[in-house]
Structure 1
């Protein structure tokens, strides 16, 4: 009966064909519920003797099939999908257009009038990286390796697990993986549902922001929907963060060798990691007596000459300068990559992406090369104290404030808090985000592209920022604009903290119903204690300096009060030592992110009971609880 009905609706199929398709569908519907997952449909129709098209053509055509809110594929949806595929729909899906190296795969945006381009070289490089670093993982290793030439990565990323694992690979211990929602045991595989996917992707978004990724206009639903350009952009930022995190003088004291004449260590450390990489590249070119220098990761590298010399300088026994004799640029680039392969560094780049000067892939290649073969002479004992004595004052608070400023989408992004606020433009943008309309922009001097403001103009801008702070009841006694320009750490931290606190209070006020009174520290403490007590928990907090907070028990009890059942108390330690306290606070942070809170602190901030940072954590939970 069902086959007859379907044959009438889809007359292009003969009755035997419909019967055959119904039989194929039932073979896939193992549990007999009358539906299969989208991924099962794509896999079945793009592989084996029943193939109806490529992975990407099936995937793209499936978007045209009207499935119900569950997202499951029922029998009629399955027949409709095959009918559309046999009409030749989306045959070229996933096929790149344009010249080699610059070709793009066009994907549809959220709006029918918007399209986005994806570079196949980037898709392939990032997928290959994921296959390499996550292969063998106990939770997702069986999914790998993923094809590097299709869009399957975007479907596999939907449940958040691959992205969470990638974040932990880039910045270890960012996420407590015990809180992740995972499919049921392999023997009776059952994928997680949309709600569980949302929780995992809440962790992805909040954790990505917490490690310094710029995550703008990306939400959990975008990942679940498989929005290709957004997911690929997020993957790149996570990979980039991991590669550049190792360019750190604490990990590589020999970076001290890169200081230029008259440059102080503090001045050098103000450079963002990509600029330090260029400095490192040029250091080796100079040591090789090579006349050229690189100022970017695109046009200065695309002829492969500088790469040839760099590799030869790093590992001369295995990397010759023979590529310089090759006149064909693509063949020269391939010879460079063969040299890189000889030293275990052929990663991210293809010969075409070198020639066209892809800046992302070149940056990734150079960062990986530095991490593998820095080629810098170890420091003498007499030089070491210069490094070891350096300790950035307020480093932990500065880290959190930097992440918070970047979450406001200020331009340019903040890398070094004390350096990047000097001209006043970023802090004034932050004021305007926190207190909309408070900045009269005609009073603000802005630097021309590629230029810096004069000190006089910087002081004018920062004086205006101080004036705005005072007008909005911030305590800025003795603070002048020149203090911000000079990077006086305690005063910069004080100003940014008060602005961040005002933002937190404004958020809480907007969530409270009909109460226009400003939320105080005491209000937050009272609210937290009341919620914990109402849930029949015994922990309390006296203040944000309360030393008992270090165990993480109060935070976990508060989270369980807000989201009953979220805390698995079998995972909670007594907090007898610092390691146990760290594990508890790591658990609390990941649970908060799972619930949708935006958390910038790291476990050490809570273990050390830093009052300002503890306040931001409680405030984030309070916003969640409203």
Structure 2
């Protein structure tokens, strides 16, 4: 292959709009990056049937900024310059865009584009998300005025602009993430709407959504690819969040004969759903099995028999239409049967036949959540260990950083070191020498290569002054829980302190003592009575000192009639919930949970105060500039 393109191959200014259009089209999930799968799909559509290793090599070669296995816009621009010259990629791509079906275009909606740029929107996804929102919030008094959403046109983008629907969606996916007392619902103006959108984005980030390239101004402008990307992430978190043994003990019947509970816990929700479908196909007495939610479900055969197997007899779900020659007609019959059990959601006949991954995944996850068809009398296995609140917080933080692959389980998804390296590169760009990292593992040497990566990860941690005396690379590879958590906490702390230090324009890292001094000075300066001596201080546990600090950062933002003065656990938790949501509403990127405040979890409480200090510094900088 030719080497990395020189500057002479870069895109000229007058071609930038077309390139932005093409980037947004390839970026199917709207997260601001092009993954290996998305690039492979684009190349195939354009007629370039490259072997998988060549596509991987392309991503490896051009993934220069943060070695995360995906391309940002600048990296894509370099790759595009070469493909345009070598393979006439630009012409074919433009031709492909103009021919794609179920695509709607919107004008002038890209943050980086000039007026007149068009962006493609998958109509199936717009329709499906609009329908899901309309169905799920039709009885919500705050949402009725927006519903039903019209699937065509820009109704979805207009209705989410004030942030209320987004906040409601986040709470449906992860209940109680947002204290509804903090949502501005009446007498909305541009400032209150902006607050709602900040609240929604920071709350979405706290549950693991990647919002790196999405700002409130993008949502206010109703940029389709960004709105759809965010909505999909929120919906996906809710659909897949409970697919585990805690909520469905009957899943243990999906274990293979030679598998342990530890093996099962390493499975992603998608992998569990595939096993679940195959489990029911086997019980239905059919020979077909699936291995994906794209090509294996296009003929509806698996869905037809799955629906029959999981449905109550009285629902009247039937089979016998598998031989309908027209696949879209067959899919329509299948969906009519799904409607009998109130599960006609997400997919349309074209979405089934085209093998739309995200919509078919959502369809199956919705079927599972409503009609699992598993034994109900099964107890949670003794050797199953439920994910702790701390583990989930760390996992959400990692995923919100946009790491690849997505982290489902800390003790299996970090064992090759690749996610850890990505986090290091976010904390201190350039600290990872990627030539020392193995990213494609050979079958015979995979264990040795992964342990080597982990050893290097420990080296970098020590370079960053992490306390790693008792941790070795083999411990990370083996998924030793306490030692893995020790490293992960230090990663999150380093990220938080690094962000704070940059905003404080400090030449040395901000210390815990600095954060405590800032908090006490801020409280005193604004006439508040609170005072803290440490992040384990008892005074923090009722939430009031945090609430007062937020009101000091943004005067008069707190509605003190919402603050409880009682001393019961319920009063403390209510205050903590209000405090966390208000922190996010004023702009703090908080991952800590209300329970962390009430229980005095010093690590998470430290991140809460650090995020508030960072928010205060950012607000003061913005005020000075304006």
Q: CA deviation at 1:230?
A: 0.6
Aligned residue for 2:381, secondary structure, equals helix
C-alpha offsets along residues 557-601 of structure 1, whole Å, 9 cap, x if unaligned?
Answer: 111111111111110112522222111111111111111111112
What residue ranges of structure 2 are gaps of 5+ in the alignment?
1-96, 618-626
Task: Give the conservation status (yes or no) of the 8 Å contact 1:304–1:336.
Answer: yes
In the TM superposition, residue 155 of structure 1 has moved relative to its aligned partner by 0.9
Partners of 1:257 and 1:107 in 2: CA distance: 48
1:577-588 matches, within 5 Å, as 577-588=568-579
| Structure 1 counterpart of 2:310 | 314
1:161 shift after superposition: 0.9
SS at match of 1:551: coil
- Preserved CA contact (<8 Å) 2:212 2:401: no
In structure 2, the partner of 1:499 is 491
Distance 1:423 1:497, change over 3 A: same
Contact 2:294/2:356 (CA < 8 Å) preserved in 1?
A: yes
Instruction: Give the corresponding residue for 1:174.
Output: 177
Q: Is the 8 A contact 2:526 2:552 kept in 1?
A: yes
Q: Decide whether aligned partners of structure 1 residues 419 and 122 sit closer, same or farther in structure 2, where only a CA change above 3 A counts.
A: same
User: Match of 1:107?
Assistant: 106
- 8 A Cα contact 1:131 1:145, kept in partner: yes
CA distance in 2, matches of 1:367, 1:452: 35
State whether residues 455 and 472 of structure 2, in contact with CA within 8 Å, keep that contact through their aligned partners in structure 1. Answer: yes
| Cα distance, 1:425 vs structure 2 | 1.2
Structure 1 CA distance for aligned equivalents of residues 278 and 118 of structure 2? 39
How far off is 1:322 after superposition?
Answer: 1.1
- Does residue 406 of the first structure (1) align with residue 399 of the second (2)? yes
Q: Distance in 2 between matches of 1:170 and 1:478?
A: 38
Pairing 1:574–2:565 present: yes
Measure, in 1, the Cα distance between the counterparts of 2:205 and 2:372: 29
1:295 corresponds in structure 2 to: 291
CA displacement at 1:489 relative to structure 2: 1.0
Which structure has the higher relative contact order (CA within 8 Å, separation 6+)? 2
* Alignment partner of 1:542 is 2:526: no
Is residue 2:232 matched to residue 1:232?
Answer: no
Matched with 1:351 is 349
2:272 and 2:338 map into 1 onto residues whose CA distance is 21
- State the partner residue of 1:386: 381
SS of equivalent residue, structure 1 residue 491: helix
Displacement of 1:325: 3.1
**Matching of residues 150-165 of structure 1 within 5 Å:** 150-165=153-168
Helix, strand or coil: the match of 1:386? coil
Q: Please say if 1:125 is aligned against 2:125.
A: no
Aligned equivalent of 1:608: 599
Secondary structure at the aligned position of 1:323 is classed as coil
Pick one of 271, 275, 282 that aligns with 1:275: 271
* SS of residue matched to 1:409: coil
Per the alignment, residue 324 of structure 2 pairs with 326
Q: CA RMSD in A?
A: 2.0
For 1:405-449, what per-residue CA distance to the aligned partner results, in whole angstroms no more than 9, with x for missing partners? Answer: 223322222221221110011111211211121111111111269
2:624 corresponding residue in structure 1: none
- Is the CA contact 2:347–2:359 (under 8 Å) kept in the aligned structure 1? yes
Partner SS state of residue 365, structure 1:
helix
The aligned residue for residue 93 of structure 2 is none
CA contact (8 A) 1:575 1:584 kept: no
Question: Where do 1:365-384 residues align within 5 Å?
Answer: 365-380=363-378, 384=379
Alignment-derived partner of residue 476 in structure 1:
468
Of 202-211 and 247-256, deviating more is 247-256
> C-alpha displacement at 1:401, in angstroms?
1.7
1:451-600 residue pairs with structure 2 within 5 A? 454-513=446-505, 515-600=506-591
Correspondent of 1:212 among 193, 204, 208: 208
Q: Is the 8 A contact 2:249 2:381 kept in 1?
A: no
Contact 1:464 1:481 in 2 (8 A): yes
Q: 1:265 to 1:352 in 2, by over 3 A?
A: same
SS of structure 1 residue aligned to 2:296: coil
SS in 2 for 1:461: helix
> Cα distance, 1:460 vs. partner?
0.8
Shift in CA distance, 366/265, structure 1 to aligned 2, threshold 3 Å? same
Deviation at 1:404, TM superposition (A): 2.0
**Change in 2 beyond 3 A, CA 1:385/1:400:** closer
Task: Answer yes or no: is the 8 Å Cα contact 2:583–2:612 preserved in 1.
Answer: yes
CA contact (8 A) 2:438 2:453 kept: yes
TM-score by length of 1: 0.79
Q: The residue matched to 2:393 in structure 1 has which SS?
A: helix
Asked if the contact 1:397/1:493 (under 8 Å) is kept, the reply is: no
- Residue 446 of structure 1 contacts residue 453 of structure 1 at CA under 8 Å; is this kept in 2? no
Distance in 1, Cα, partners of 2:338 & 2:217:
40
Give yes or no for the alignment of 1:432 onto 2:425: yes
For residue 337 of structure 1, give the secondary structure of its aligned residue in structure 2: helix
Moved beyond 6 Å, runs of 4+: none
Helix, strand or coil for the counterpart of 1:322?
A: coil
Q: 1:140 offset after TM fit, Å?
A: 2.7
1:276 and 1:390 map into 2 onto residues whose CA distance is 15
Shift of 1:97: 6.8
Point out the structure with max Rg over C-alpha.
1
CA–CA separation in structure 2 for the residues paired with 1:599 and 1:470: 27
Q: Secondary structure at the match of 2:564?
A: coil
d(CA) in 2 for partners of 1:406, 1:324: 40
* Range 133-142 or range 413-422, more displaced: 133-142
SS of match in other structure, 2:367: helix
Match of 2:78 in 1: none
1:613, distance to aligned residue in structure 2 (A): 0.6
Q: Is the 8 A contact 2:395 2:408 kept in 1?
A: yes
SS in 1 for 2:184: coil
Q: Distance in 2 between matches of 1:620 and 1:403?
A: 16
Q: Count matched residues.
A: 515
CA distance in 2, matches of 1:327, 1:612: 60
How far is the alpha carbon of 1:617 from its aligned partner? 0.5
> Given the alignment of the two structures, is residue 243 of structure 1 paired with residue 239 of structure 2, yes or no?
yes
Q: Equivalents in 2 of 1:263, 1:608: separation in Å?
A: 37
In 2, Cα distance between the equivalents of 1:346 and 1:179?
A: 34
1:105 match: secondary structure: strand
1:149 and 2:152 are equivalent in the alignment? yes
Q: 1:612 to 1:287 in 2, by over 3 A?
A: same
Secondary structure of 2:416 counterpart: coil
Task: Give the 3-state SS of the residue equivalent to 2:297 in structure 1.
Answer: coil
Please give the alpha-carbon distance, in whole angstroms, between the structure 2 residues aligned to 1:599 and 1:254. Answer: 35
